[in-house]
């Protein structure tokens, strides 16, 4: 069996959080082959892995949200013209109506389909005109048109991404990852599992509402975009998981069928947090506060620093250890460094990326000031080390600290961005060793009872088994030992990669492949940083190579397959005669404008030029 993990903006490029969870999952199924389809911003991220890939990861594929149209230069002309069914499907995506996603998938996966041609063509223009006329006539049309192109370009690039074949697709979010998983299920008839650590739609909605770069009316368009992608993933998934009860309620509210949802909490390897090194002689002078996190805006490190400055005025022996990478958002990290200097606060240590097990035993308690979370692993790890936690009331933190059991309170909960509450909590926890010990023991009992990795893996083994059985795919027998080392104090080196066996890549169809009349090497050159050999990374725009056994959806050579392109027209193909779903002499039901002389499925160039002139006027 092969499972394809589809993730956006995390593994294997970013450490911690969801990335750590993915790494743990893969290592916990050592007898299952995995591939990874990673959604990243652009080619500048290519191959910049922060994790050493487990040996059962055979291939990493990349899909880019911003890229060139590699199909655009192969052949110019009228090849990207939509038939009526395709036009209606595209129209419904843009107008946020009931989308025929199967038609959308088939359309974008055509070998000759060009995103450039679509965005700059008459069909997209007409649909945007219709949207503008009925919803946004108060703004300048040229601005609206170009903004709509920028909004839909990432989705269109995702839809154009070639898909690896797998038995189960496991998307670690809805959004763009969910679109890829749904499209893979459409083509390969494989199982689809969706796991949400946070609620993707809600998180993106919060980001868009706060974003200064998104103007007024366009916020709603972006939010609708993410909602429709999540609805697609929910509707196509065979199973949907979440981390806690309230997340399940949110998923149901967003349209996920209730019967698909299963609450599957995170789990950690308790053994890693036993017999940790304790305080040094220097540490004994301080009450150490640990913050295990990425220095990024979503973690609200600035509020943490301000609260610590106030707390230290009340309790001078406090010391704050901020443990985690600072390179995800270097501008924000610099603002945090500058804030420490501006406040003239002492005893704030930025350690950078560390192995948390080397530091956690030295802490008296930990703190998390995030403005958004799912079920933070850092809280579970703190509990496993018998350390209480101060946390903001986000995600599952209330449930973790107060519990739905009889073990008692395991920390202090504060409101988001409330400096005074956080400072008071630091002082209260710092003054009372007895309180810290009692809360730490409560947390330890809670995580030991409900949040061990064995429980999580058993849940996912059951899910994989159930959805795989539906499609005739079966998990291999379970191995007795799990590989669950989640330490994050390493980088993936070229030497590691070269020594890794079994890495698969798709071969080039010929010796030198070209796009837009240029040699591939002219585009790619050397990998940024020179960390990785190219053989490990699957370029999403490499030419597909189909073998003789490819069935149903493969591209044929000498003989046409059922829906292929050939000398003879297939049922819904382009031909000299108008086919069943083509445009007719009279206006068709789905449009709001007259197609007059369109006696085939395509408009003439003259009509399209007239439409463009009309739009400009």
The pLDDT tens digits of the residues spanning 172-202 come to 999 999 999 999 999 999 999 999 998 999 9
Collapsed DSSP state (helix, strand, coil) of residue 399 = helix
Q: Rounded distance, CA 161 to CA 539, Å?
A: 10
Q: Residue 506 is encoded by which pair of tokens? A: 């798709």
Q: Band of the pLDDT at 217, cuts 50, 70, 90?
A: confident
Contact criterion met (CB below 8 Å) for 180 and 164: no
Q: Which position has the token pair 């449009």?
A: 591
CATH 3.40.50.2000 residue window(s) in the chain: 2-66+163-209+223-266+457-538, 271-450
Structure confidence by residue, pLDDT tens digits, 543-563: 333 333 333 333 333 333 333
Structure confidence by residue, pLDDT tens digits, 552-601: 333 333 333 333 333 333 333 333 333 333 333 333 343 333 333 333 34
Reported as half-sphere exposure (CB side, CA atoms, 13 A), residue 223 has a value of 17
Nearest to 345 by CA among 316, 373, 365: 316
- pTM over 0.85? The answer is no
Q: Residue 533 is encoded by which pair of tokens? A: 């050999």
Q: Which position has the token pair 């390179």?
A: 327
Q: What is the arithmetic mean of pLDDT over 452-475? A: 92
> With 0-12 CB in 10 A as exposed, 13-18 as middle and 19+ as buried, what is 152?
buried
Contact criterion met (CB below 8 Å) for 144 and 132: yes
For residue 114, is pLDDT > 70? yes
Q: What are phi and psi of 58, to 5 degrees?
A: -90, -30
Q: What are phi and psi of 597, to 5 degrees?
A: -90, 15
How many other CB atoms are found less than 10 A from the CB of residue 602? 18
List the end-to-end C-alpha distance of the chain, in Å, as a whole number: 58
Determine the Cα angle at 419 with ends 415 and 421, to 5°.
55
Give DSSP secondary structure letters for 108-173: HTSTT--HHHHHHSHHHHHHHHHHHHHH-TTS-HHHHHHHHHHHHHHHHHHHH------SEEEESS
Q: Rounded distance, CA 435 to CA 387, Å?
A: 11
Contact criterion met (CB below 8 Å) for 61 and 540: yes
Q: Residue 72 is encoded by which pair of tokens? A: 């655009």
Q: Rounded distance, CA 194 to CA 232, Å?
A: 11
At residue 610, the pLDDT reads 52
At residue 605, the pLDDT reads 54
Q: Residue 168 is encoded by which pair of tokens? A: 């189960």
Alpha helices in 211-314 (DSSP H): 218-236, 245-253, 301-314
Structure confidence by residue, pLDDT tens digits, 306-327: 999 999 999 999 999 999 999 8
CATH architecture of 271-450: 3-Layer(aba) Sandwich (3.40)
Q: Rounded distance, CA 202 to CA 210, Å?
A: 12
Residues 6+ apart with CB under 8 A from 287: 315, 317, 318, 319, 364, 430
Q: What are phi and psi of 424, to 5 degrees?
A: -65, -40
| DSSP-derived pairing of the beta strands 365-368 and 389-392 | parallel
Least confident of 14-28, 366-380, 478-492, 556-570: 556-570
Beta bridge partners of 136: none
Give the residue with greater pLDDT, 386 vs 520: 386
At residue 526, the pLDDT reads 35
Structure confidence by residue, pLDDT tens digits, 252-282: 999 999 999 999 999 999 999 999 999 999 9
Structure confidence by residue, pLDDT tens digits, 12-32: 998 888 998 999 999 999 999
Structure confidence by residue, pLDDT tens digits, 224-255: 999 999 999 999 999 999 999 999 999 999 99
Q: What is the arithmetic mean of pLDDT over 41-54? A: 93
Q: Rounded distance, CA 174 to CA 200, Å?
A: 6
Q: Residue 559 is encoded by which pair of tokens? A: 């003989």
At residue 591, the pLDDT reads 38
At residue 582, the pLDDT reads 36
Determine the Cα angle at 178 with ends 166 and 572, to 5°.
75
For residue 485, is pLDDT > 50? no
Of all residues in the chain, what percent are helix, strand and coil, respectively (each to 5)? 45, 10, 45
Q: What is the arithmetic mean of pLDDT over 447-473? A: 93
For residue 298, is pLDDT > 50? yes
Q: Rounded distance, CA 503 to CA 500, Å?
A: 7
CATH class of 2-66+163-209+223-266+457-538: alpha beta
On average, the pLDDT of the chain sits at 81
Residues 6+ apart with CB under 8 A from 436: 364, 365, 387, 388, 429
> With 0-12 CB in 10 A as exposed, 13-18 as middle and 19+ as buried, what is 491?
middle
Collapsed DSSP state (helix, strand, coil) of residue 309 = helix
Give the residue with greater pLDDT, 337 vs 72: 337
Q: Rounded distance, CA 570 to CA 562, Å?
A: 8
> Percentage of the chain surpassing pLDDT 90?
67
For residue 34, is pLDDT > 90? yes
């Amino acid at each position: 069996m092969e499972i394809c993990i589809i993730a956006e903006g995390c593994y294997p490029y970013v450490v911690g959080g969801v990335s750590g969870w993915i790494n743990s999952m893969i290592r916990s199924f050592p007898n299952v082959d995995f591939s990874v389809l990673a959604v990243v911003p652009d080619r500048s991220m290519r191959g910049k892995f922060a994790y050493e890939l487990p040996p059962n990861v055979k291939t990493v594929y990349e899909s880019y949200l911003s890229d060139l149209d590699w199909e655009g230069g192969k052949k110019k002309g009228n090849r990207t013209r939509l038939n009526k069914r395709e036009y209606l499907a595209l129209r419904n995506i843009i107008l946020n109506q009931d989308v025929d996603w199967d038609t959308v998938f088939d359309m974008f996966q055509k070998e000759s389909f060009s995103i450039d041609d679509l965005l700059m063509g008459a069909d997209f223009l007409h649909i945007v005109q219709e949207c503008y006329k009925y919803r946004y006539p108060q703004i300048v049309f040229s601005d609206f048109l170009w903004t709509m192109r920028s909004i839909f370009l990432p989705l269109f690039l995702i839809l154009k991404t070639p898909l690896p074949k797998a038995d189960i697709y496991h998307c670690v979010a809805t959004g763009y990852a969910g679109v890829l998983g749904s499209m893979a299920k459409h083509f390969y008839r494989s199982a689809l599992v969706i796991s949400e650590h946070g609620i993707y739609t809600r998180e993106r909605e919060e980001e868009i509402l706060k974003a200064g770069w998104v103007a007024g009316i366009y916020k709603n368009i972006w939010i609708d975009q993410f909602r429709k992608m999540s609805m697609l993933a929910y509707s196509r998934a065979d199973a949907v998981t979440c981390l806690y009860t309230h997340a399940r309620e949110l998923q149901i509210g967003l349209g996920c069928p209730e019967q698909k949802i299963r609450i599957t909490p995170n789990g950690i390897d308790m053994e890693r947090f036993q017999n940790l090194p304790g305080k040094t002689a220097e540490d004994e002078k301080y009450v150490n506060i640990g913050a295990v996190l990425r220095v990024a805006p979503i973690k609200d490190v600035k509020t943490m620093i301000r609260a610590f400055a106030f707390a230290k005025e009340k309790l001078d022996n406090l010391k704050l250890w901020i443990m985690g990478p600072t390179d995800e958002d270097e501008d924000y990290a610099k603002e945090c460094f500058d804030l420490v200097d501006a406040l003239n606060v002492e005893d704030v240590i930025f350690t950078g990326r560390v192995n948390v097990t080397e530091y956690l035993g030295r802490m008296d308690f930990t703190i998390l000031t995030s403005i958004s979370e799912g079920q933070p692993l850092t809280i579970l790890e703190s509990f496993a080390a018998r350390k209480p936690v101060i946390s903001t009331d986000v995600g599952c933190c209330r449930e973790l600290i107060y519990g739905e059991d009889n073990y008692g309170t395991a920390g202090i909960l504060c409101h988001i961005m409330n400096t005074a509450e956080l400072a008071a909590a630091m002082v209260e926890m710092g003054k009372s060793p007895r309180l810290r010990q009692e809360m730490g023991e409560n947390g330890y009992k809670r995580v030991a009872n409900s949040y061990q990795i064995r429980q999580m893996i058993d849940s996912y083994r059951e899910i994989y088994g159930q959805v795989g059985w539906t499609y005739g795919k079966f998990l291999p027998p379970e191995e007795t030992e799990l590989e669950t080392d989640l330490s994050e104090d390493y980088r993936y080196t070229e030497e590691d990669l070269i020594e890794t066996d079994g890495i698969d890549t798709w071969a080039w169809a010929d010796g030198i492949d070209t796009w837009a009349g240029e040699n591939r090497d002219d585009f790619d050159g050397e990998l940024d940083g020179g960390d990785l050999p190219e053989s490990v990374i699957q370029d999403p725009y490499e030419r597909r190579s189909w073998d003789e056994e490819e069935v149903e959806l493969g591209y044929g050579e000498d003989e046409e397959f059922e829906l292929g392109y050939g000398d003879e027209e297939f049922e819904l193909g382009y031909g000299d005669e108008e086919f069943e779903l083509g445009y007719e002499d009279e206006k068709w039901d789905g449009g709001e404008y007259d197609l007059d002389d369109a006696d085939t499925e395509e408009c003439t160039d003259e009509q399209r030029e007239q439409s463009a002139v009309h739009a400009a006027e």
